A and B are shown apart, each in its own frame.
Chain A
Amino acid sequence: MSQGMETGRTARAAGRVWLLVVSLFLLAPSMVLLGTAVTTTGYLAFPPEGFTLGWFAQVLSDPAWVDSIVASTNIALIATVVAAVLAVPAALALTSPRMPGRDTVEALLTLPMLVPQIVLGVGLLQLLLVLGVGRTYPGFVMAHTILALPFVLRSVLTSLRGAPRTLELAAADLGAGPWRRFIHVTLPLMRTGLGAGCLLGFAASYVNVEVSMFLSAPELNPLPVKLLNQVAYTVDPGVSAVSTLTVVLAFVAMLIVDRVSGLKAAGAPS
Chain B
Amino acid sequence: MSTTTRTPAQPTDTPPAGRRRAAALGGGLSWRQWVLAVPAVLATIILFVAPLGQMVASSFTGGASAYRRVLTDGLYFEVTLTTLRISLIATAITVVVGYATAWCMARCVRSASVQRALLLLLVTPLFISAVVRSFAWLVLLGKEGLVNDIVRALGLSQEGWSLLYNETGVIIGLVYILLPYTTLSIMAAFEALDGRLERAAADLGANAWRRFTSVTLPLTVPGVASGALMAFAMAVTGYVTPAVLSGGQVRVLSMLIYEQTLVTFDWVTASVLAVLLLALSLTAVIFYLRMLKRYAMEGAR
Contact = CB atoms under 8 A, between A and B. Distances in A.
A19 interface: yes
A25 B21 CA distance: 48
A120 B9 contact: no
Contacts of B41: 90, 105, 108-109
A15 B103 contact: yes
A112 interface: yes
B40 A86 contact: yes
Contact of B9 (A27, A185, A223, A249): A185
Most buried by B among A12, A27, A243: A243
A196 interface: yes
Contacts of B270: 119
B126 A172 contact: no
Given A162-B192, A199-B184, A251-B120, A231 B131 contact: yes
Contact of A12 (B25, B47, B107, B187): B107
Contacts of A117: 237-239
B220 interface: yes
A166 B198 CA distance: 19
B69 interface: no
B140 A32 contact: yes
A113 B233 contact: yes
A23 B118 contact: yes
Contact of A7 (B102, B107, B140): B107
B33 A93 contact: yes
A4 B98 CA distance: 19
A126 B240 contact: no
Nearest to A47: B146
Interface in B13-61: 13-16, 19-21, 23-31, 33-37, 39-41, 43-44, 46-52, 54-55
Interface in A180-210: 180-181, 184-185, 188-189, 192-193, 196, 199-200, 202-203, 206-207, 209-210
B47 A115 contact: no
Contact of B137 (A29, A143, A165, A246): A29
B37 A116 contact: no
Contacts of B103: 15
B135 A107 contact: no
Most buried by A among B16, B24, B36, B198: B24
Nearest to B125: A26
Contacts of A206: 126-127
A227 B236 contact: no
Contacts of B105: 19, 265-266
Contacts of B181: 151, 200
B55 A19 contact: no
Interface in B224-258: 226-227, 229-230, 233-234, 236-240, 253-254, 257-258
A64 interface: no
Given A33-B136, A93-B33, A164-B194, A172 B23 contact: yes
Interface of B: 1-4, 6-11, 13-16, 19-21, 23-31, 33-37, 39-41, 43-44, 46-52, 54-55, 97, 100-110, 112, 115-116, 118-133, 135-137, 139-140, 146, 176, 179-181, 184-185, 187-195, 198-199, 202, 208, 211, 219-220, 222-223, 226-227, 229-230, 233-234, 236-240, 253-254, 257-258, 261-262, 267, 270-271, 273-274, 277-278, 281-282, 284-286, 289, 292-293, 296
Given A162-B188, A184-B7, A192-B187, 5 more contacts: A4-B108, A6-B202, A109-B41, A118-B257, A240-B132
29 contacts: A1-B195, A6-B208, A18-B101, A30-B136, A96-B26, A98-B30, A100-B30, A109-B40, A114-B236, A114-B277, A114-B282, A115-B277, A116-B277, A119-B271, A150-B233, A154-B226, A159-B191, A166-B3, A172-B19, A200-B180, A200-B181, A203-B123, A203-B127, A227-B132, A240-B132, A243-B128, A265-B105, A265-B118, A268-B112
